[in-house]
């Protein structure tokens, strides 16, 4: 078991006496990991971050840093630093002085300040910008100053509150890779708050999905994406097709589900189910196959395959792939993604109004409790 | 931490709260209380409480004449200010040289209050510019009295308060998105109709701010009617001062002042409602300065 | 911008109005300047150039005394008003304490009440408390009407900044004391300078309130000008007016330019 860096025990935060922002949250974050809090806006993720930094006090419960309860420690006494969403750089100080701020507060010697700040400037590749004011920097540079300013003090945990939200899409990708490198370099715990599922999936060691003040699921990105704990997680992280049904038959590792929308479908038995139980199945659009021809005999030999006929009711071409909405005979609209590997060569182009087959193996779906 | 901040916030505001309570709220309350009291022989106000001076105000014909004159002068002056300020603010806001034109409006505005009134005495006086010019042109052969009437008061009020009207109008016209005019004209409206139906409604805030900024201080005018109004141009402000200093009737003076207190309260509500608590006096120029500094820093 | 001019039309009417208003604004000022160099004792007829009214003015002890009083009041009242106003603005910004609504009403009302109301109420207040009218009462009055302006300017400036800047400073280890001196004060420096300058301007210009709360021996320049206008116009006043107008011009230009000297 790895050492624990931050632990939250039964933490609740109530604002103005009646708004429950965080509801009885338990969480432990390992030392040195990159942990993300993911959820829609207003789900309480930023409040958790602010309770760790000390900017908010928990109404109930304990915040524990390196084995010590820090509830009563003011933010200026915590070994935790924050990168704020809008950078919050001091407008009247230069880049150098912004980074040096916490060292000057601690009355470090001039030589030490100079060395540490310059190290940070090197690490963040801010060389040549030392004497600029924040207003003279680009968004990405401001971001790097904010990170450098938070890291120079060598905190044991770095908190990042949607740090990439203000950047444009391209730069965001770039900064994400850079953040990952910085994390490898400094080796401390990073807690990253975001509402963007692709950011959280791509960078985290573990992530917690939150909704309405509660933690819904904690796990690795693969666990959370492939085995969502409930409908909310499945829906919030990535696109999916939900089908509700009643268990009709159990055959070894597979079950036959009787659904209103698609009739009978085979699903993998991800957990114990009883016959007659109401259950949901999530089928990710990228796991569905879409073809003009009927699937080959070889495929159909597999008894746990689901094949449906339908008509393409919408197609969105996105370069790397196309998103289809296929109207299945019974009237159910299914989302299907199709990669374009050999698009203009020998790939069969499927377009609007084409009659198609949509099919998937029972193993590719995932059951979710109702 | 939160508690410390709350405490510090209170401590920091404390001197300001105390100062304004002691030297603004308390004196204003004194006026309210004194207006119900009995005058002393050498000023001051004493018990018993009485409504005598309110009754006197309501029944005295001389007071009503003065009151009506004050209202009429103020409303006419404010109306003239608005009528003159609209085209000027519009021109400045749409000009390439708006900063230069704006400073031309602000400089006289910054010039000493009394000096500017005095300038008009020199123009309107019996020996003044207008009489001299008219005599030179043989339109008149002896000086006519241009001062000490209501019209000279209105003229000088308009002169003094026009910038108070131009500046808020300017800032709301400047914020106006002129593409809306394009859109309206594109939809077939004529230019005049566009200005009246699109521009004017969108600068309502500026217009009401301007009216409040001009009307309320003008109602309380003292120096202008005192210097250019004479007997026929006197206003309520002069009556208050006379009751206070010459007649030494503090309660009556306070009772009349209550009118201004009421008007100010209504004005404050209008003012707060329309948001723009700014632009009174020279603030505009400092605001530009702050804005530039802000851009530089952050 | 050019495109907008099409929409606006030629703006002939508004141009003529602006031109006339500018003449209206500057005619009295120009008259005073011209007359201050006119040798005639009375009237507007030009009888020759002279500087004698200026030399009379400079030898006038009363003017010098009034000038000195004005400077003393302006400097002291703006310093105190700026200090109190800046602290109050930061206090309000830091926290919504219980008295905040009351305080806001207290800040806005002085901006709107007519000067005469403030003057009369203060006079009654000081006399009732048996406080000797003089420079001290003028000082109190000037601080009172300046504070509201200072608070508004500083609050506007503070609101330009995101509160997370304060949180960032806390997060980086600063105490409230350090946040005050190392973050807030430097950040609002332009607003502090601007409110100080504005308070000075308001103080130098005020006539009505000063008129009521002044006592013997505490004449300020506006009061001096008033009595010169009221009790016998001497050409000296033209010279004084011209100097004040000149000072206004210089301050205006300085006010627009000086920032470069301080903040480069």
Interface of C with B in 85-114 (CB under 8 A): 85, 87-88, 90-97, 99, 102-103, 106-114
Helix axes C135-159, B283-297, angle to 10 degrees: 40
Does A90 contact C183 at a Cβ distance shorter than 8 Å?
yes
Final residue before a domain boundary, out of A191, A207, A236: A236
Q: Are residues A73 and A94 in the same domain?
A: yes
Instruction: Give the minimum alpha-carbon distance from B216 to chain C in angstroms, rounded to a whole number.
Output: 6
Q: Looking at residue B167, what is its pLDDT?
A: 87
Does B297 contact A92 at a Cβ distance shorter than 8 Å?
yes
Q: Are residues A33 and A181 in the same domain?
A: yes
Q: Which residues pair with A247 in a beta bridge?
A: A257
Look at residue A279 and give its three-state secondary structure.
strand
Q: Are residues A224 and A257 in the same domain?
A: no
Nearest CA to B120 out of B67, B160, B162, B68 is that of B160
Instruction: Give the minimum alpha-carbon distance from A55 to chain B in angstroms, rounded to a whole number.
Output: 8
pTM: 0.82
**Separation CA B164–CA B168 (nearest Å):** 7
How is residue B49 written in tokens? 């409480």
Does C157 contact B294 at a Cβ distance shorter than 8 Å?
yes
- What number is the ipTM of this complex? 0.86
Does B296 contact A75 at a Cβ distance shorter than 8 Å?
no
Residue C50 phi/psi, 5° resolution? -155, 155
Average pLDDT, chain C: 85
Q: Establish if C201 touches chain B: CB-CB under 8 angstroms.
A: yes
Residue A54: its chain C contacts at CB < 8 A? 170-171
What's the pLDDT tens digit per position in B127-186? 888 888 888 888 888 888 888 888 999 999 999 999 989 988 888 888 877 777 777 777
Q: Are residues A36 and A157 in the same domain?
A: yes
What CATH number corresponds to the domain at position A360?
A: 2.40.50.140
Q: Which sign does the torsion angle of CA C29, C35, C37, C41 carry?
A: negative
Q: Looking at residue C260, what is its pLDDT?
A: 39
Q: What is the CA radius of gyration of chain C?
A: 23
Chain A residues with CB within 8 Å of chain C CB: 53-55, 74-77, 80-82, 84-86, 88-93, 101-102, 105-106, 149-150, 153
What's the pLDDT tens digit per position in C14-73? 899 999 999 999 999 998 898 889 888 777 778 888 888 888 888 888 889 999 999 999
**Separation CA B14–CA B7 (nearest Å):** 10
Q: Which chains touch A (3 or more CB pairs under 8 A)?
A: B, C
Q: Establish if C67 touches chain B: CB-CB under 8 angstroms.
A: no
Final residue before a domain boundary, out of A184, A208, A236: A236
Final residue before a domain boundary, out of A236, A260, A277: A236
Q: Establish if A57 touches chain B: CB-CB under 8 angstroms.
A: yes
Q: Are residues A216 and A106 in the same domain?
A: yes
Question: CB pairs below 8 Å between B and C: how many?
Answer: 333
Q: Are residues A156 and A304 in the same domain?
A: no
**Separation CA C89–CA C108 (nearest Å):** 13
Q: Looking at residue B280, what is its pLDDT?
A: 41
For chain B, which residues make up each domain, given as ranges? Answer: 61-258
Is A269 within 8 Å of A253 (Cβ atoms)? yes
What CATH number corresponds to the domain at position A181?
A: 3.40.50.300
Is A163 within 8 Å of A85 (Cβ atoms)? yes
Q: Are residues A217 and A112 in the same domain?
A: yes
Look at residue A327 and give its three-state secondary structure.
strand
CB atoms under 10 Å from CB of B179, counted, come to: 12
Q: How many folded domains does chain A comprise?
A: 2
Q: Establish if C231 touches chain B: CB-CB under 8 angstroms.
A: no
Best residue of C168, C183, C192 to probe chain A, by most A CBs closer than 10 Å = C168
Q: Which residues pair with A279 in a beta bridge?
A: A245, A369
Sheet holding A278-283, edge to edge: A263-268, A254-259, A241-251, A278-283, A366-369
Share of chain A above pLDDT 70, in %: 99
**Separation CA B65–CA A97 (nearest Å):** 68
Domain span at residue A111 reads 4-236
Q: Are residues A34 and A102 in the same domain?
A: yes
Does C170 contact A55 at a Cβ distance shorter than 8 Å?
yes
| CATH (residue range B61-258) | 1.10.3720.10
Residue C175: its chain A contacts at CB < 8 A? 76
What's the pLDDT tens digit per position in A28-59? 999 999 999 999 988 999 999 999 999 888 99
What's the pLDDT tens digit per position in C81-124? 999 999 999 888 877 656 667 777 788 888 888 999 999 999 99
Q: Are residues A226 and A115 in the same domain?
A: yes
Distances (CA, A) of A361 to A288, A294, C46, C239: 8, 15, 108, 100
**Going by C-beta distance under 8 Å and a sequence separation of 6 or more, which residues neighbour residue A289?**
A295, A336, A357, A358, A359, A360
Residue A159, H or E segment: strand A157-161
What's the pLDDT tens digit per position in C147-196? 998 998 888 888 888 888 999 999 999 988 899 999 999 998 888 988 88
How is residue C191 written in tokens? 């607003």
Q: Are residues A51 and A109 in the same domain?
A: yes
């Amino acid at each position: 078991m790895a050492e624990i860096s931050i632990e939250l025990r039964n933490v609740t935060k109530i604002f103005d006496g009646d708004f429950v922002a965080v509801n009885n949250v338990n969480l432990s974050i390992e030392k040195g990991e990159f942990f993300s809090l993911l959820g829609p806006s207003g789900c309480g993720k930023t409040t958790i971050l602010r309770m760790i930094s000390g900017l908010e006090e928990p109404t109930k419960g304990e915040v524990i840093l390196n084995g010590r309860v820090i509830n009563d420690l003011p933010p200026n006494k915590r070994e935790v630093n924050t990168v704020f969403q809008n950078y919050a750089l001091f407008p009247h100080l230069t880049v150098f002085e912004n980074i040096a701020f916490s060292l000057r507060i601690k009355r470090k010697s001039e030589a030490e300040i100079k060395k540490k700040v310059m190290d940070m400037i090197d690490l963040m590749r801010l060389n040549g910008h030392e004497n600029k004011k924040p207003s003279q920097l680009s968004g990405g540079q401001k971001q790097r100053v904010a990170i450098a300013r938070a890291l120079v003090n060598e905190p044991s945990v770095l908190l990042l509150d949607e740090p990439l939200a203000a950047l444009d899409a391209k730069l965001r990708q770039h900064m994400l890779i850079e953040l990952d490198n910085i994390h490898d370099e400094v080796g401390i715990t990073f807690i990253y708050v975001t509402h963007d599922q692709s950011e959280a999936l791509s960078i985290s060691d573990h992530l917690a999905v939150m909704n309405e003040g509660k933690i819904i699921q904690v796990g690795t990105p693969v666990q959370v994406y492939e085995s969502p704990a409930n409908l909310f997680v499945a829906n919030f992280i990535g696109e999916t097709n939900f089908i509700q049904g009643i268990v009709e038959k159990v055959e070894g590792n597979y079950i036959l589900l009787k659904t209103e929308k698609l009739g009978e479908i085979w699903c993998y038995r991800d957990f114990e189910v009883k016959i007659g139980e109401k259950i949901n199945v999530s089928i990710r659009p990228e796991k569905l196959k879409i073809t003009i021809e009927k699937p080959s005999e070889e495929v159909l030999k597999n008894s746990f395959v689901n094949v449906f006929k339908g008509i393409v009711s919408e197609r969105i071409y996105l370069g790397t792939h196309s998103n289809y909405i296929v109207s299945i005979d019974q009237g159910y609209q299914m989302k299907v993604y199709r990669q374009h590997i050999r698009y203009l060569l020998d790939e069969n182009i499927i377009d609007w109004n084409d009659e198609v087959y949509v099919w998937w193996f029972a193993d590719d779906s995932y059951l979710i409790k109702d | 931490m939160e508690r410390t901040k709350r405490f510090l916030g209170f401590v920091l505001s404390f001197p300001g709260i105390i100062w304004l309570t002691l030297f603004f709220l308390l004196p204003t309350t004194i006026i309210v209380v004194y207006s119900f009291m009995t005058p002393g022989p050498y000023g001051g106000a004493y018990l018993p409480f009485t409504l005598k001076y309110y009754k006197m105000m309501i029944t005295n014909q001389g007071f009503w004449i003065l009151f009506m004159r004050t209202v009429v002068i103020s409303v006419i002056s404010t109306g003239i200010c608005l009528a003159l300020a609209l085209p000027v603010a519009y021109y400045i806001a749409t000009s390439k040289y708006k900063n230069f034109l704006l400073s031309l409006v602000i400089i006289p505005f910054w010039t000493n209050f009394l000096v500017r009134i005095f300038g008009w005495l020199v123009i309107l006086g019996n020996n003044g510019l207008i009489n001299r010019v008219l005599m030179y042109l043989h339109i008149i052969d002896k000086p006519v009295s241009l001062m000490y009437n209501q019209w000279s008061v209105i003229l000088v009020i308009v002169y003094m308060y026009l910038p108070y009207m131009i500046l808020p109008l300017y800032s709301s016209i400047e914020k106006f998105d002129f593409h809306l005019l394009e859109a309206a004209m594109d939809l077939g409206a004529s230019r005049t109709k566009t200005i009246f139906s699109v521009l004017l409604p969108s600068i309502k805030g500026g217009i009401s701010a301007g009216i409040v900024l001009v009307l309320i201080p003008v109602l309380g005018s003292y120096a202008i009617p005192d210097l250019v109004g004479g007997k026929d141009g006197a206003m309520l402000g002069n009556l208050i001062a006379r009751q206070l200093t010459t007649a030494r009737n503090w309660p009556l003076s306070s009772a009349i002042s209550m009118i201004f207190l009421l008007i100010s309260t209504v004005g404050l509500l209008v003012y707060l409602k329309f948001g723009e608590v700014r632009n009174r006096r020279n603030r505009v120029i400092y605001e530009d300065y702050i804005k530039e500094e802000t851009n530089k820093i952050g | 911008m050019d495109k907008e001019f099409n929409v606006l039309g030629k703006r002939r009417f508004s141009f003529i109005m602006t031109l006339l208003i500018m003449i209206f604004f500057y005619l009295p000022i120009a008259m005073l300047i011209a007359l201050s160099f006119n040798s005639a004792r009375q009237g507007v007829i030009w009888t020759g150039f002279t500087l004698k009214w200026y030399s009379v003015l400079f030898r006038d002890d009363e003017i010098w005394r009034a000038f000195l009083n004005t400077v003393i009041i302006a400097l002291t009242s703006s310093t105190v008003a700026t200090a109190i106003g800046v602290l109050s603005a930061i206090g309000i910004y830091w926290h919504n304490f219980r008295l905040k609504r009351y305080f806001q009403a207290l800040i806005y009302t002085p901006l709107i009440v007519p000067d005469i109301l403030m003057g009369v109420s203060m006079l009654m207040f000081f006399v009732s408390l048996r406080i000797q009218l003089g420079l001290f009462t003028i000082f109190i009055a000037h601080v009172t009407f300046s504070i509201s302006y200072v608070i508004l300017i500083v609050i506007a400036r503070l609101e330009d900044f995101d509160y997370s800047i304060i949180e960032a400073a806390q997060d980086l280890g600063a105490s409230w004391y350090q946040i005050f001196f190392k973050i807030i004060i430097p950040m609002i420096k332009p607003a502090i300078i601007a409110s100080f300058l504005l308070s000075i301007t308001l103080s130098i210009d005020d006539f009505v309130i000063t008129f009521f709360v002044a006592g013997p021996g505490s004449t300020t320049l506006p009061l001096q000008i008033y009595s010169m206008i009221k009790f016998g116009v001497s050409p000296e006043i033209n010279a004084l007016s011209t100097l004040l107008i000149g000072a206004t011009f210089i301050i205006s230009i300085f006010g627009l330019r000086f920032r470069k000297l301080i903040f480069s």
